[in-house]
Chains A and B, each alone.
Chain A
Amino acid sequence: MRAYLPDYQCSSANSLSEAFSFLEKGARPIAGGTDIMVLFDAGLLAPGDYVDILGISELKGITKKRNTLTLGALTTYSEVRQHKFLQTNFPILCESAKEVGAVAIQNRGTLGGNIANASPAADFPPALLVYEAKIHLVSSRGMRTIDYTKFHHGYKESELKKDELIHSVSLENHLSKHHHFWRKIGSRKAQAISKTMMAGVLKINKNVIEEVRISFGSVAPTAVRCTEVEKFLTGCPLNKNTIREAKQILLKDIHPIDDIRSTGKYRLAVSQNVLEEFLCGIG
């Protein structure tokens, strides 16, 4: 363990208001710890004050109100993965949760933490993008809601203010006639960090694409909605030419780079192939 303990302080908050008072004094939040503790162990976590928010009940639970499903920020990957309603209506969320780390990580890592960490390789964002989730942020100033598409600004940058917490994420259930698709390409089958991953929903009518949403992770500074590809595909007949062209247009939407895990070239080619797999699998 490379961290020097006296350089850190950490207290537990048991309610939102308690958490806000810590945040206002400059503390940073820690939830399931599956990202922060990795940095901490490696001696890479910024020294200072932290506030443990894992015990705040206001941030927990999955609730359904008419057509809206709300997931508390502290919902774990395991809870998402095992949730029957999510499995049926938002399968991409469950599938992506299933492929995060392994059981012990899934039991600790949270939806809010995964979003707040703002890593391009985070597993939930592509699903949240195609499901057009709304994200609810809370602070002592109150609650505000924004479209999830507007949440991430850049690499490890987001809309979240220092005194704010992610409260919850809500999803509208109107995708029962859509095809749902998820593919993560990692370095191995468990404990894998993605090289590229794709979420897609698509509605087809008499072989014409009526509605499509596509999102990729690990191929740009943030997870991205592929607006160019979507624009092109909407209204197109689903055939070989369309697929070939869509793969080319994808180059406008994603911009993968080389790092120690893979190469930009590989990520790009495989992303194109995954898009093809998605479109070929419809029908």
Chain B
Amino acid sequence: MAWVGKSTLRKEGEKKLRGDAKYIDDITLPNMIYGVTVRSPIARGVLRGIEYLPGVNWSEIVKVTAQDIPGQNYIALIEKDQPYLVETNINHPEEPILLLAHPNKHLLEKAKTLVKFNIDPLPAIFNMAESFAKKEIIWKDDNTFKSYAIDRGDVQAGFKNSKFIFEGTYETGAQEQLYIEPNGVIAIANETEGVTVWGSLQCPYYVHKALMPLFNFPPEKVRVVQAETGGGFGGKEEYPSVISGHAALLSWKSKLPVKMIYDRMEDMSATTKRHPSITKIKAGFDNNKKLLALDIDFTIDGGAYTTLSAVVLSRGTLHAAGPYYSPNVKIRSRALATNTPPHGAFRGFGAPQSLFALEKHMEFCARKLNSNPAIFRKNNLVKKGQLLGCGQWVKEEIKIGSVLEKALTVSGFQEKRKRFLATNKNKVIKKGIGLAVFMHGAGFTGSGETFLSSIASVKATDDGKIEVLTSNTEIGQGTNTIFAQMTADTLKIDPSDVEVVQPDTAHVPNSGPTVASRTCMIVGKLVEQAALDLKEKLFSSQLLNKKHTRKEFLGACKKYIKDVGELKGTSQYKAPPNVIWDEQRYQGDAYGTYAWATYVAEVSVDTRSYTTTVDKFWAVQEVGKVINPTLAKGQIIGGVAQGIGYALYEEVVWKNGKMANARMSNYIMPTTLDVPDIEVHFAEMPYAYGGGGSKGIGELPLDGPAPAILNAMEQALGIELTQIPMTPERLMAKMNENSL
């Protein structure tokens, strides 16, 4: 029986529905106390001292400053630029300076208000323009965390030969991940046992890596355990290293277990968000409206420290030319420093920004050329044997053309486009339909997976279960369920025979982080291979015939354990053949494979209130094999809803580098009444190197909605829109500008 492809029920679903699932704030340890962070009120300055004002009994409150750190004061990730606690230089508002712990968490809230930092302020910079112009130098020599250059063909010649050339500039704002469970951990740290952290997190081994230098501990003295996690979306990719370190430091000093849970305001204002971006595009076309040259300049705002900006920039850069073929491509990109809290991972990881710009620009070019937007795009889509923007050969047939056709059909795109154009005149509420065509590279970029060399294991237990051991976390996306399906198919058993073990660095191998859809595609494949390895041991011990039933398999496992001992299969990542990446030129096979998609949005714009409603949404994509249709559909719909928020509602209001609207009532994410019916269609083309034949799906739905929605608004209104979030206030200004 094939389980892959069936909507088996969510493995941990029942305990979540009963309220039995234990998230980090549901766990209490004996003698546990609470910890809080006291943060910089200003964006940039030099810390001169800390005063503790009267009002609480300070002698009973545990205090930790940079001076208390037993190891090294940096958060290990890419660069060593971000300290756990400020020593002297403050680089952004909300930067952690002081940690407090006490058994009474309410008292800590009062104590926080009684801390006074003496700071000599320094001038700060808050946007990419100021950073680029080096108004102040705030990071190394030039405020630039990372830059990339891709040059393919001859762009100058391409423009010279172009009949039509169009330029445009596009902007995207920051976006808060807004998982409903805020960041939180519990930590125990002492000299004898080392440090153990339980937390709401995506990547246990990232935290593991960060805690070692903080305490100067060897790997075996650091243990990280994932608790049930209430959503991540990238927001719990790298940030948990910060809060874990803080709780561990407080435990180290107090000698007690310390729980640290952010409240919503702190989580919104102090933790990472999606990078804001500005993209400039110049595109040249020949007589037949075919792309001849693309010149793209892509800039992202990284905030005050590097975090993952270099990698986010990379993905944004490699996706910047989209699913189109251009013989000549030039891309320049950079991640710049500003005095705002560091931006970080968020579903899509740079691609939603650069693809927004590209798909807005393609719309603009189509309009300028008097072309139908769908036909214009189709005419320029990359084909087998051609190069993508990043210089990757398309070696196999791809279905992007038929995905686009399908999207046009199911949405009634062409008919509606005509109809709305005719019926909108003199209407207060104007209708529009728009689309976006795009792709998303699955798994890590370039040689990322080879560097990681992930390991997964599958183990038989003496009580007749099959355990899957990876460090990949269930954060709602369905890891437990799909791993069980893949394992069940490989071993010809039932998903209920499979236990996906809670990620705990003391017990699971490092199968890499839970990001970039690599869990399903890359680690899923590793799990299948580990299961095969286990089965091979049964075959070679002659306890199992090649043709076997579930019962025979489980019986053979028991016998093996009894007669031989531990029964465990293991596998390690090997790159698929013929994937070649040139790090120097930043060109080549950037991704093992891509998922391809076309999204269509139908909108109504109320020209009296300037509010936009998405009336209906169609998401069509080719994603390899769909492992679990219900879960896969849930991934797409959920992502589209975040994409709708990104396009229309979710604005981070900045005041001197600080988020001024850090409340759920003021940062507007969509409710049940703001999200339309979202229709999901999958085309399937199993990918040989993906678990169960899968590619990535999780990021696609953040790439498409924003350009599709703005393109639909443009159709409704007949004006150019180049920025998200396109709030009613911004739309009004744009419409007034156009009516002048």
Contact = CB atoms under 8 A, between A and B. Distances in A.
B660 A260 contact: yes
Interface in A162-193: 185, 187-191, 193
Nearest to B669: A188
Interface in B153-197: none
B376 to A, nearest CB: 34
Contacts of A155: none
B230 interface: no
Contacts of A191: 665, 671
B674 interface: yes
Contacts of B610: 266, 270
A274 B661 contact: no
A261 to B, nearest CB: 6
B32 to A, nearest CB: 17
B424 interface: no
A277 B106 contact: no
B463 interface: no
B149 interface: no
A3 interface: yes
A104 interface: no
Interface string A253-274: 0000000111101100110011
Interface in B575-616: 608-611
A190 B732 CA distance: 22
B608 A273 contact: yes
B370 interface: no
B729 A262 contact: yes
A4 B107 contact: yes
Interface residues of B, number: 28
A204 B611 CA distance: 30
Interface in A1-50: 1-7, 42-43
A189 B673 contact: yes
Interface string B721-740: 00000001100110000000
A261 B666 contact: yes
Q: State the main secondary structure of chain B at its contact with A.
A: loop
Nearest to B107: A4
Contacts of B672: 190
Given A188-B649, A190-B672, A270-B609, A4 B110 contact: yes
A276 interface: yes
B670 A188 contact: yes
A188 B671 contact: yes
A276 B608 contact: yes
B266 to A, nearest CB: 9
Contact of A5 (B106, B653, B670, B674): B106
Contacts of B9: none
A263 B736 CA distance: 15
Contacts of A2: 109, 263
Contacts of A262: 728-729
Interface in B620-657: 649, 653
Interface in A187-211: 187-191, 193, 195
A151 B668 CA distance: 32
A193 B729 CA distance: 15
Contact of A189 (B110, B428, B665, B674): B674
Nearest to A273: B608
B39 to A, nearest CB: 14
A7 B106 CA distance: 10
A6 B105 CA distance: 12
B106 A4 contact: yes
B265 interface: yes
Contact of B609 (A7, A42, A274): A274
B106 A3 contact: yes
Interface in B90-112: 106-107, 109-110
Interface in B684-740: 728-729, 732-733
A266 B732 contact: yes
Contacts of B673: 188-190
Nearest to A280: B428
A187 B608 contact: no
Contacts, number: 69
A193 B106 contact: no
B609 A185 contact: yes
B547 to A, nearest CB: 57
A269 B732 contact: yes
Contacts of B265: 42
Among A4, A43, A270, A277: residue with most chain B CB under 10 A: A4
A100 B263 CA distance: 24
A190 B670 CA distance: 9
Nearest to A270: B609
B667 to A, nearest CB: 9
Among B107, B608, B671, B674: residue with most chain A CB under 10 A: B608
B615 to A, nearest CB: 13
Contacts of B609: 185, 270, 273-274
A1 B263 contact: yes
A2 B111 CA distance: 11
Contact of B109 (A4, A187, A190, A263): A4
A266 B649 contact: no
Contacts of B733: 265
Contacts of B611: 185
A269 B734 CA distance: 14
Interface in A122-149: none
Contacts of B106: 1, 3-6
B671 A270 contact: no
Contact of B649 (A187, A263, A273): A187
A274 B608 contact: yes
A190 to B, nearest CB: 4
A30 B334 CA distance: 53
A190 B671 contact: yes
Interface in B77-135: 106-107, 109-110, 113
Contacts of B653: 260
A127 to B, nearest CB: 19
B608 A193 contact: no
A5 to B, nearest CB: 5
Contacts of A3: 106, 109
A189 B668 contact: no
A161 to B, nearest CB: 30
B729 A263 contact: yes
A43 B266 CA distance: 13
Contacts of B728: 195, 262, 266, 270
Given A1-B263, A260-B661, A188 B110 contact: no
B110 A266 contact: no
Among A5, A191, A277: residue with most chain B CB under 10 A: A191
A188 B668 contact: yes
Contacts of A185: 609, 611
Contacts of A261: 661, 666
Nearest to B109: A2
A274 B661 CA distance: 27
Contacts of A195: 728
Given A4-B109, A43-B109, A277 B608 contact: yes
Given A187-B649, A274-B608, A276-B608, A266 B729 contact: yes
Among A43, A102, A188, A263: residue with most chain B CB under 10 A: A188
Contacts of A273: 608-609
A189 B109 contact: no
B669 to A, nearest CB: 8
Given A2-B109, A4-B107, 4 more contacts: A1-B109, A1-B263, A185-B611, A188-B649
Nearest first, the 8 A-B pairs at minimum CB distance are A189-B673, A273-B608, A4-B110, A190-B671, A266-B729, A187-B668, A190-B673, A2-B109
Interface of A: 1-7, 42-43, 102, 185, 187-191, 193, 195, 260-263, 265-266, 269-270, 273-274, 276-277
11 contacts: A3-B109, A4-B110, A43-B109, A187-B668, A188-B673, A189-B673, A260-B666, A265-B733, A270-B610, A274-B608, A274-B609
Interface of B: 106-107, 109-110, 113, 263, 265, 428, 608-611, 649, 653, 660-661, 665-666, 668, 670-674, 728-729, 732-733
